[in-house]
Chain A
Amino acid sequence: MSLYYVQKFLYELNRSPAVQQAYTADRHASLEGFTLSDEEIAALTEPDIGKLFHLGVNGQILMHFAAFHQIEWADYLQRMRDGIDAYGPVREGVYAMTGYEGVDAHAATLGQESRVADGAGNAGTSTNGS
């Protein structure tokens, strides 16, 4: 398992049209040279956005991978929520710093309203100062 190399591949994909073309032509072949587990390869090639978030991929990298796959914003957010529900809390990375255990539990930890209601972030704004 290597979160570093999962993110490294996505970093290069996000930056490089050549890597994007290689990924489009042959997803598995484009991952050669990166130290990845079978689980990580499956998540990157399917692609499984929820699994990638569960593995700990930073959203600043992941959101561009979702956009590359023409996944709309609200769907992108929902896929991450579904990934936490299906696979459990984020394993490592910045979101595991205090444990990212799901939207509802996370909101409760903060003493804030529960999850954003419509997937687009148009509810759930908090004025709680905790």
Chain B
Amino acid sequence: MPLVYAGVCSHAPGIRGRADQADPVAKDALYAAMDDQRAAIAATNPDALIVIAAEHFANFFMNNMPTFAIGMADFYNGPIEDPAWLGIDKFEAPGNRSLSERLIREVMQTVDVAYAEEWLFDHGIAVPLSFLTPNFDLPVIPVNINCQGPPLTPLHRAYAFGEALRRAADSVPERIALVGTGGISHWPATPDSGKINEAWDRDFLDRWARNDRAALLDYDDAQVYADAGQGGFEIRTFITVSGAAAGSTGTVHHYEPIPIFAVGCTTASYDLG
């Protein structure tokens, strides 16, 4: 079936783990936006949810760092972090090994990917799932892009990966929803945690909503680091969703910097027509 949903959201651990320290008005607005996204996904009646994440050295390390990886298991566990620290209890999320394998085989026609038959979800996936599938009753297919350990996945490859995921999703009978998660500008887990470059974020989100491929790829890592911090490298997840929704334009439903969450908190989606 054609892809039924393509969107993005934030995944910062503080969204759950430091919720009590945030401005309650800002936090409640974000939580409402995440619930709206949950409802929008549910309305498409998906059979599975692909979550494109920027994993943070929970499963993938510099001894064998994949440019792209896709999960291929019938279940996944999380969070790998201390549940009290993250504010999310231990869970088991369903997967779909058969579906993963069929998607991976199709993606591999144009993009080299690693596959993983086990995967411990860190906050990059656990936080979005805690909002989007809070009962863990929708099969999840985790996807990772190397946004952490240079040399990083090139941006144009991230876009091409999204196009490959779209072809794969369209090739299977299941109804696939797809969500990219990550930050835009942020300096997570560093002394500058809490700094957010709102103007940079809004410019990026404008490019994302227009799905302007040339503009989305017109960044280099050194400039991103200078303007948007090392967390800005996670734009790769958003750009992959753009590739999956090539030809569509999108809407930013929510954006608000919340410093204690260390990121401009975002939900957005493409109109797939």
Interface, chain A (partner B; CB < 8 A):
4, 7-8, 11, 14-15, 53, 58-64, 67-68, 73, 77, 80-81, 84, 94-95, 97-98, 100, 102-103, 106-107, 109-110, 112, 115-116, 120-130
Contact = CB atoms under 8 A, between A and B. Distances in A.
A77 B262 CA distance: 12
Contacts of B56: 60-61
Given A115-B191, A124-B192, 4 more contacts: A84-B191, A112-B197, A122-B260, A124-B195
B247 to A, nearest CB: 29
Given A115-B191, A126-B195, A128-B199, A110 B80 contact: no
B150 interface: yes
A130 B60 CA distance: 33
Interface in B58-74: 58, 61-63
A98 B192 CA distance: 15
Given A15-B80, A64-B81, A98-B225, A125 B193 contact: no
Contacts of B193: 59, 77, 116, 121
27 contacts: A8-B62, A58-B148, A59-B189, A59-B190, A59-B193, A60-B148, A60-B189, A64-B85, A67-B85, A94-B150, A97-B230, A98-B222, A98-B225, A110-B195, A112-B195, A115-B192, A116-B259, A120-B21, A120-B260, A121-B193, A121-B195, A121-B259, A122-B21, A125-B194, A125-B195, A126-B198, A129-B200
Label chain B's interface by main secondary structure. loop
Interface of B: 14, 18, 21, 56-58, 61-63, 80-82, 85, 120, 148-150, 188-200, 203, 221-222, 225-227, 230, 257, 259-260, 262
Nearest to A67: B85
Label chain A's interface by main secondary structure. helix
Contacts, number: 126
Contact of A14 (B14, B58, B226, B259): B58
B222 A97 contact: yes
